[in-house]
Structures are given as structure tokens and as C-alpha cells.
Amino acid sequence: MSVVALAGGTGAAKLLRGLATLIPPRDLTVIGNTGDDAEIWGLHVSPDLDTVTYALAGTLDVARGWGLADETFQCLRAMATYGAETWFNLGDRDLATHLVRTRALRDAPLSAVTARLAASLGVAARILPMSDEPVRTMIRTPGGRLTFQEYFVREKSLVEVTGVDYDGAAAARPAPGVVDAIRSADLVVVCPSNPVTSIGPILSVPGIPDALRATAAPVVGVSPIVGGAAVSGPAAALMRMRGLEVSPLGVAAAYAPWLRRLLIDSRDGTHAGELAQRGVEADVTDIMMTGRERESALARRVLERR
Ligand code: FO1
């Protein structure tokens, strides 16, 4: 069985860890968001690809949802003494990933470099960036445009957002393997990630929405919205700004017309009827992944064919 997952960062990491307990890693292909990639101290940082890779390698700092467990930040402190910007917390061992990636990108595309990093960390699942070309999520605010990391980490998502752009998307192509993986999948999973800034950039790459429409595989999502609020991060404000209702209905609207089934929380069960009217089967369950067992239980539910 071939499972393809569209993934952002933290929310996706939990579901992917659950899936990895149930299917052979070689059956899992992750298509990761690179819209929030950033250049920090001259290094190419790919936060979502790293979060997914570390999660599947078993080395993610699960409490924080990003970076490596048992990390230290000596280099960050040393950089501060040189007057460098230190709002983006790069850990000492995490730095090794960015050093190796940045050097390797001189000779190879991001997809090849990502595969190499994953293999070095013992990850057998296939992790593909959505594109080898740069696509950057830019947040429009009354004070000007910010990169996603400036908005999310430096400004703590507190500034007003007037729009979101995916710079470079029009000229980007899906990374090698992305379209084939979607078209030949037995199941496509949309992880519980931010529809605007995690899954949105993936869908902005020409060719990926067409593949989702064309695949014979059922496309199954897990709602990142529970009880009218985002499970984590700024998804609610960004969805509102896009005119999407902050509920499973808004999530379904973001993934129309190819989303077939959406796992929603018991608290949102009242939306099941309207989802059905819109052609999306609601699968009502407890979707909060508060521990390893819940991650596996939710993943099992995602894999169930109906
Ligand atoms: N998130 C934060 O909230 N603060 C940070 O300082 C931070 C540093 C960081 C370093 C490496 C990395 O891979 C991720 C990091 N993140 C941090 C998370 C990152 O901003 C988010 O995971 C995504 O970009 C959103 O999915």
C-alpha cells in the first residue's frame, strides 16, 4: 500500500509518526512544504522538511514540535556576541543539518539533498520537497511584507495579516517524484497542518492540484481546526483572512474538490451533515494527538478504507 502525505510541520509530525508505526516506511512518501524555508546566517533552513525528518528519525523535540531533542544553543549565544540576529533559535546539532544542506545545495537540488539527509538519519520513508525551485510564503501586513519565519517566530503571529503570497510558485515545478507519487498512491493524506501556510504553498505549485484531482486514490484529511480554533499556530486568523470559515467546513473548502473524507473532532460533529452536502464524508472521532498511542490510533483511522 502506497501512502502519500502532504505535510507541514508540527501537526503533521505527530500523524506521520503514527502512520510510521502502522505501515512499512518504504510505503510512505511525504510531500513537505518548503514555503517557510529561510536563509538564516547564510544557511538554508527547511523547517518543515526537518521537522518531518526528525520526527520519523525519532529525534524531534516533541514538546516544542521543532528542532532536536536534548538540544543546546551555545552557537546562538556566541552569535549574539557578534551582534547577529538571534530571534530564530538554531540549535547546535540542528546547525549541522543546515551546514550540510547549504553546502550540498551548491551541487544538487533540494530533493536530492533532502533524501541524503533523511538516509543519513536512518529514515526509510521518502521525504520529497514540494518543489526544487524556491517558493516562499510571504505575509502581507499593514507595515509591509514579511517572510513566514519573520511573521511566525519574530513577530509571534501577532501582526495583522492582509494577505498571503507564494512568491515563485508560478514558475515552480513539482519536485521529481511528487506527481507520480500522488497519481499512483493508494491513499493520499492531508495532514492536520495550516491550510494557508503549510498545505497552501504545496497546492500553489502548478501540477500538484491537477495530480490530486486525477488520482484514483481517496484523499483523506485531518482537520487542524477543533472547536472553532486552530490546534496550534495562526491557522484561524489566516483562514479568516482568506475568507475560509474557521471550522472543518473551511478546511474542506480549502481542499475542494478533491478531498473525499475529513477526520473531524467530536466537538465538531454538528458539521457532518453540511460536509456531506459538499461531497466530503465526515469521520467524527477524537482527533487530538496527545500521546504516542493517540497518534497511532488516529493514523489507524486515517488508513481505514470506508
Ligand atoms: N519556531 C519557533 O516558534 N521559534 C523558533 O525559534 C524556531 C526555530 C526553529 C529552528 C529550526 C526549525 O527547523 C524550526 C524552528 N521553528 C521555530 C519552527 C518553525 O518556525 C515552524 O516549524 C514552521 O516553519 C511552521 O511549520
The pLDDT of residue 9 is 85
The pLDDT of residue 88 is 98
Reduced to 3 states (helix: H, G, I; strand: E, B; else coil), residue 87 is: coil
Residue ranges in the chain assigned as alpha helix (H) = 10-20, 47-57, 74-81, 92-104, 110-120, 148-149, 178-183, 200-203, 208-214, 235-241, 248-254, 272-277, 292-303
Instruction: Determine the angle formed by the axes of helices 110-120 and 47-57, rounding to 10 degrees.
Output: 30
Distance CA 11, CA 33 (A): 13
C-alpha cell at 251: 478546511
The pLDDT of residue 138 is 98
Instruction: Tell me the CA–centroid distance for residue 195 and ligand 1, in Å.
Output: 17
Contacts of residue 41, defined as CB under 8 A and 6 or more positions apart, other chains included, come to 79, 84, 90
Say yes or no to pLDDT of 305 above 80.
Answer: no
Does the domain at 3-135+170-304 match CATH 3.90.1200.10? Answer given as no
pLDDT digits 0-9 by tens, 88-145: 999 999 999 999 999 999 999 999 999 999 999 999 999 999 999 999 999 999 999 9
Work out which ligand 1 atom sits closest to the CA atom of 9.
Answer: 26
Determine whether the shortest distance from the Cβ of 51 to ligand 1 is under 6 A. yes
Please choose from 51, 127, 153 the residue to mutate so as to test ligand 1's pocket, defined by most ligand atoms within 8 A of CB.
153
The pLDDT of residue 306 is 47
Say yes or no to pLDDT of 169 above 60.
Answer: yes
